[in-house]
Structure 1
Amino acid sequence: MLVGIQRSAGGKRREVVLRVAEAKQKDVGRGKVRIDINILRMIGVEPGDVVEIEGRRKTAAIAWPGYPEDQGLDIIRMDGLIRKNAGVSIGEKVIVRKADAKPATLVKLAPANFNIAVDPGFVNYVRKRLLNYPVVEGDTVMIPVLSQAIPFIVVQTKPQGVVIITHDTQIVVLERPVETTGIPRVTYEDIGGMKDIIEKVRELVELPLKHPELFKRLGIEPPKGVLLIGPPGVGKTLLAKAIANETNAYFTSGKGRINVKKFKTNYTPGSPSGPGTTHPGSGSHAPARRP
């Protein structure tokens, strides 16, 4: 629901609160959001302008008019990467305002997952891919490398705030990754052909994680787990990673075949303690226990 138009702290920019909706597939990975054209006009934004999006953190994107069927719904359609950068998931609220975007003099990037070799040709390629792209320090950007999108973290920008990468921007690409959490960068848009299953799993897993008060109010015990069954390669692990990403939850993956092999190797028949296994980081990310 549209909460209203109000002046920002500086008294210069109007802002509006909108509900986050999933991006349509043709808009995924293009760094843009879809907003009702009437709302864009109310906050002084023209199609193609950069907007600042504030959830649990601030990010930026290029605003384009919403689809006719979305008119009057007071929603902002954004893909999983923009949602991640804003720190929100589908159904949550964000504040949207026209961005005070400045040309970037410096943007420093670091790979999110692994070491890479950097040469001037690669730096020029990255600049070309991100040309006219708005970023904020701390954002994740995706760079296609050998037919695969590689995540990079924006570790520094000059000036600070919302900046736009231009031909004159100095791009620095670090070879070593920055420290990251155990949250996968997989979104619902990365999963194809599973719309009905995604909706069911979201109801069973995402809703209890994000809104436990609803279950408490209704006197219903939320589910403690979901068993996904299917042949290898259908997307079970991908779906679990997407749920963890969208709910900002810690994720760890264990392969059953490897664990069984460990049990057989380490378990001594007749031992008073049965076999067991632990995952790195499981101690510091232990699930909360209900009283």
Structure 2
Amino acid sequence: MQGFLTALDLTDTGARTDEDIFTGPSQWMPLGRVFGGQVLAQSLVAAMRTVPDDRHVHSMHGYFLRPGDVNHPITFSVERIHDGRSFSTRRTQCYQNGVPILSMIASFQDSDEGLEHHIEMPADVPDPESLPTAQESLKHIDHGVARFWSTERPFDMRHVPSPIYLKVDGEHTSRQAVWMKTFLPMPDDPDLHRAALAYASDYSIMEPILRRHGVAWSSPGLKVASLDHAMWWHRFGRVDEWLLYVQDSPSAQGGRGLATGSIFSREGVLLATVAQEGMLRVPIVLE
């Protein structure tokens, strides 16, 4: 958990004429590639450092350009594109070894009033306390990735109806849900919670595509990579309290799949919406 907070605590290396520069560490991952959610969250933190304290992120759109290397830090270059009466826009370019690995643009807004509604959270979802933890699901697997998913991620993830780490039980459907929260309490900074929510939003968003086709994460030869990621924050919520991430996949084709997600508080309030397209390569014909 401390490594997670350290990764989001960027170092300000100073402003240049046309950009603000920050650096941040890469968290260790068992396959050597930087977790996409980490660089998304860090790019948001960098952008947040350049806007007034009373303006908060409401949307971001990012493209993953290259895989990041966990053995190297990341440099974040923030361009102050626009500051209006109510909105600010920032572009963050993320670099390793002089080449970009992520390009992200985010919009920030003052607090405002207006029309309000949101979709309802599914009513038939079991409570998170009744579901197995990742550690309980993977405790018999002696493998580096399984150990990492079990004990080293900062978020507690509990799947509905069941995880797809090793196999896909039940109906092969393009819909699933995941209860999630940090294992330990977080600082009260609301922007840190928004960035952490972006971090967690990348964990399982591709799983509805895999579940639809009966493909588990452990399937031999499976290759999955995030291509882009969009997120909209509607209302504030704490990531150290249980959140329900309801996910669906409307389409998969051409070696790519699209998935969407809605993140609710435990009380049923819609906090955020997510969309991601990813590359999925499976070396067997499934259907």
TM exceeding 0.5: no
Q: Computing the radius of gyration over CA atoms, which structure comes out larger, 1 or 2? A: 1
Higher fraction of helix? 1
Higher fraction of strand? 2
TM-score w.r.t. length of structure 1: 0.23
